[in-house]
Chains A and B, each alone.
Chain A
Amino acid sequence: MSQDNALARYEPGAFFCELFGRGGKPPAHTALVRERLAQLDIPSLRRRSRDAIEELYDLGITFTVYSDRDVIDRILPFDVIPRVISPADWQIIETGVQQRVAALNHFLKDIYNDRKILKDGVVPADLVLGNANYREEMVGLDVPGGVYVHICGTDIVRDDKGEFRVLEDNARTPSGVSYVIENRHLMLRAFADLTEGIDLRPVDGYGSQLAAALSAVAPRRAPGDPGIVLMSPGTFNSAYFEHVFLAREMGVPLVEGQDLVVEKDRVFMKTTGGLVPVHVIYRRIDDAFLDPEVFNPESALGVPGLMRAYRKGNVNIANAVGTGVADDKAIYAYMPRIIRYYLDEDPILQNVQTNICREKEGLAYTLDHLEELVTKPVGESGGYGVVIGPRATKKELRELRSVLMKKPDNYISQPMINLSVTPTLIGNAVEPRHVDLRPFAVTGDSTWVLPGGLTRVAMKRGSLVVNSSQGGGTKDTWVLG
Chain B
Amino acid sequence: MDSSLLTRFAENIFWLARYMERIENLARILDVNETYNRGRAGDNDWSHERHGDATESAVIAFYITDRKNPNSIISCLHFARENARSLRHLISTEMWRQINTFYSRIRNVKAADLRNLSELCREIKEGCQTHTGITEGTFFRNQGWTFYHIGKYLERADQTTRQVDMRRHMLIRADVEDGEADAARQLDLIEVNTLLRSLAGFHAFRQVHPAGMTAEDVVSFLLFDSRFSRSVAFSLSMVESLIVEMSKTHRLRRNVAIRAAFADARKVVETGSVAGMDAADLHDYLDLLQLKVGVLTSAIDDAYFG
Contacts and interface: CB of A to CB of B under 8 A. Distances in A.
B186 interface: no
Contacts of B252: 272-273
Contacts of A247: 89
Contacts of A384: none
Interface in B1-44: 1-10
A279 to B, nearest CB: 11
A405 to B, nearest CB: 48
Interface string B246-290: 000011110000000000000000000000000000000000000
A43 interface: no
B85 A240 contact: yes
A395 interface: no
B82 A235 contact: yes
B86 interface: yes
A227 B6 CA distance: 13
A58 B100 contact: yes
Contacts of A241: 88
A273 B3 contact: yes
Contact of A272 (B7, B82, B104): B7
- The size bracket of the interface on B is 20 to 34
Nearest to A240: B85
A234 B147 CA distance: 22
A174 interface: no
B93 interface: yes
Contacts of B160: none
A57 B78 CA distance: 16
B93 A271 contact: no
Given A60-B97, A235-B86, A273 B6 contact: no
A359 interface: no
Contact of B89 (A59, A244, A272): A244
A217 to B, nearest CB: 17
Nearest to A271: B4
Interface string B146-167: 0100000000000000000000
Interface stretch (A31-39, A100-108, A254-262): A254-262
Given A258-B8, A272-B143, A273-B252, A60 B1 contact: no
Contact of A227 (B1, B86, B96, B97): B1
Contacts of B7: 259, 270-272
B192 to A, nearest CB: 40
B85 A269 contact: no
B4 A273 contact: yes
Interface string A75-92: 000000000000000000
A336 interface: no
A254 B4 CA distance: 12
B52 interface: no
A448 B7 CA distance: 35
B88 A60 contact: yes
A246 to B, nearest CB: 8
Contacts of A70: 67, 107
A198 to B, nearest CB: 26
Contacts of A362: none
Interface string B87-103: 01100010011001100
B12 to A, nearest CB: 10
A254 B253 contact: no
B97 A58 contact: yes
Secondary structure dominating the interface of B: helix
A253 interface: yes
- The size bracket of the interface on A is 20 to 34
Nearest to A275: B4
A240 B107 CA distance: 22
A369 interface: no
Interface string A45-70: 00000000000011110000000011
B302 to A, nearest CB: 12
Looking at B4, B5, B8, B89, the one whose CB has the most chain A CB atoms below 10 A away is: B89
B304 interface: yes
A71 interface: yes
Nearest to A254: B89
Nearest to A255: B6
A258 B97 CA distance: 27
A391 B89 CA distance: 44
B8 A259 contact: yes
B61 to A, nearest CB: 16
B4 A60 contact: no
A225 interface: yes
Contacts of B88: 60, 241, 244, 248
A364 interface: no
B210 interface: no
Given A59-B93, A258-B8, A259-B6, A273 B251 contact: yes
B306 interface: yes
Contacts of B143: 272
Contacts of A253: 1, 4, 6, 9
Contacts of A234: 86
B4 A272 contact: yes
A408 B253 CA distance: 63
Contacts of A256: 8
Contacts of B251: 273
A251 B2 CA distance: 8
B167 to A, nearest CB: 35
Contacts of A271: 4-7
Contacts of B6: 253, 255, 259, 269-272
B83 to A, nearest CB: 10
Contacts of A40: none
A276 interface: yes
Contacts of B100: 57-60
A69 B67 contact: yes
Nearest to A54: B101
Contacts of B253: 273-274
Nearest to B1: A227
A269 B250 CA distance: 17
A259 B7 CA distance: 8
Contact of A248 (B67, B89, B104): B89
Interface in B206-245: none
27 contacts: A57-B100, A58-B97, A58-B100, A59-B93, A59-B96, A60-B97, A60-B100, A70-B67, A71-B78, A71-B82, A235-B82, A244-B88, A244-B89, A248-B89, A253-B4, A253-B6, A259-B6, A269-B4, A270-B8, A270-B306, A271-B5, A272-B4, A272-B147, A272-B250, A272-B252, A273-B5, A273-B250
Identify the 8 closest CB pairs spanning chains A and B, nearest first. Answer: A248-B89, A271-B4, A247-B89, A244-B88, A272-B304, A244-B89, A276-B4, A272-B10
Interface of B: 1-10, 67, 78, 82, 85-86, 88-89, 93, 96-97, 100-101, 104, 107, 143, 147, 250-253, 304, 306
Given A59-B93, A235-B82, A273-B5, 19 more contacts: A58-B97, A58-B101, A60-B96, A70-B67, A71-B78, A240-B85, A244-B88, A245-B89, A248-B89, A253-B1, A253-B4, A253-B6, A253-B9, A270-B6, A270-B7, A270-B306, A273-B250, A273-B252, A276-B4
